[in-house]
């Protein structure tokens, strides 16, 4: 009897090399597929995820160059109340019902920040001198900084976002302690979601 011979691999070496390359390419594609899919979604199909913020993020962030301001009690402000987070409400010529509602929301939001209350300053800027009705209303807002009879276009223009003139609607604008305009909130807003934004930002940033 002939001694047992080892089996002969009749597979073509070229075929083995081809399938090896196919398997290697498949592994590379599996590894890269999340990156390729993300790139296609973002830049080809423009499927951009929600940022998670309630307010409209100002991009690029805009640094505010503050003019000199004077408060109703005669104080001269040259740094835009710097060093704190500031929520500004531009009332236009008159602070009507929606404007007053937003002032109430701002007061509540500041209180609900708890230990971070002192890190936030609320500011009202209005073009005309306050009338008697508004003066009476503001007696319940001792912590609100009020700039009235102010028409300085150099300040108003810096807060123009989305093509709408500042003060047409009582929007709220968030400025960080580094003087960057960060977010804009609509006139009709959900105060709980505004509060969530502020809590998140203050937790992430220890400035101010």
158-173 pLDDT tens trace: 999 887 889 889 999 9
> 55 or 13, which is more confident?
55
Name the fold adopted by 56-204: Glutaredoxin (3.40.30)
Which residues have C-beta within 8 Å of that of residue 66, sequence separation ≥ 6?
77, 78, 79, 80, 82, 155, 179
The pLDDT confidence band at residue 45, using thresholds 50, 70 and 90, is very low
**b/e map of 122-149 (b: 16 or more CB within 10 Å)?**
bbbbbbeebeeebeeebeebeebbbbbe
Q: Are strands 56-63 and 180-185 parallel, antiparallel or unpaired?
A: antiparallel
d(CA 188, CA 208): 27
Kindly report the pTM of this predicted structure. Answer: 0.73
**Is 80 exceeded by the pLDDT of residue 125?**
yes
The pLDDT confidence band at residue 93, using thresholds 50, 70 and 90, is very high
Report the 10 Å Cβ neighbour count for 55.
21
For residue 89, what pLDDT is reported?
97
Q: Are strands 172-175 and 180-185 parallel, antiparallel or unpaired?
A: antiparallel
User: Domain extents for the chain?
Assistant: 11-49, 56-204
C-alpha 180: how far from its chain's center?
11
d(CA 40, CA 46): 8
For residue 102, what pLDDT is reported?
97
């Amino acid at each position: 009897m002939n001694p047992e011979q080892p089996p002969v691999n009749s597979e073509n070496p070229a075929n083995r090399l081809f399938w090896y390359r196919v398997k290697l390419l498949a592994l590379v594609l599996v590894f890269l597929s999340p990156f390729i899919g993300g790139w296609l979604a973002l830049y080809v199909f423009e499927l951009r995820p929600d940022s998670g913020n309630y307010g409209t993020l100002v991009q690029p962030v805009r640094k505010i160059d503050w003019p000199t301001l004077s408060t109703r009690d005669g104080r001269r402000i040259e740094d835009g109340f710097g060093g704190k987070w500031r929520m500004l409400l531009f009332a236009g010529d008159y602070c009507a019902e929606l404007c007053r509602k937003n002032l109430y929301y701002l007061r509540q939001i500041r209180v609900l920040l708890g230990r971070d209350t002192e890190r936030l300053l609320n500011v009202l800027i209005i073009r005309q001198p306050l009338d008697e009705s508004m003066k009476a209303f503001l007696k319940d807002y001792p912590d609100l900084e009020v700039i009235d009879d102010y028409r300085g276009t150099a300040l108003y223009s810096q807060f123009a976002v989305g093509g709408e003139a500042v003060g047409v609607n009582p929007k709220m604008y968030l400025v960080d302690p580094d003087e960057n305009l960060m977010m804009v909130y609509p006139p009709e807003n959900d105060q709980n979601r505004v509060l969530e934004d502020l809590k998140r930002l203050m937790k992430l940033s220890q400035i101010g």
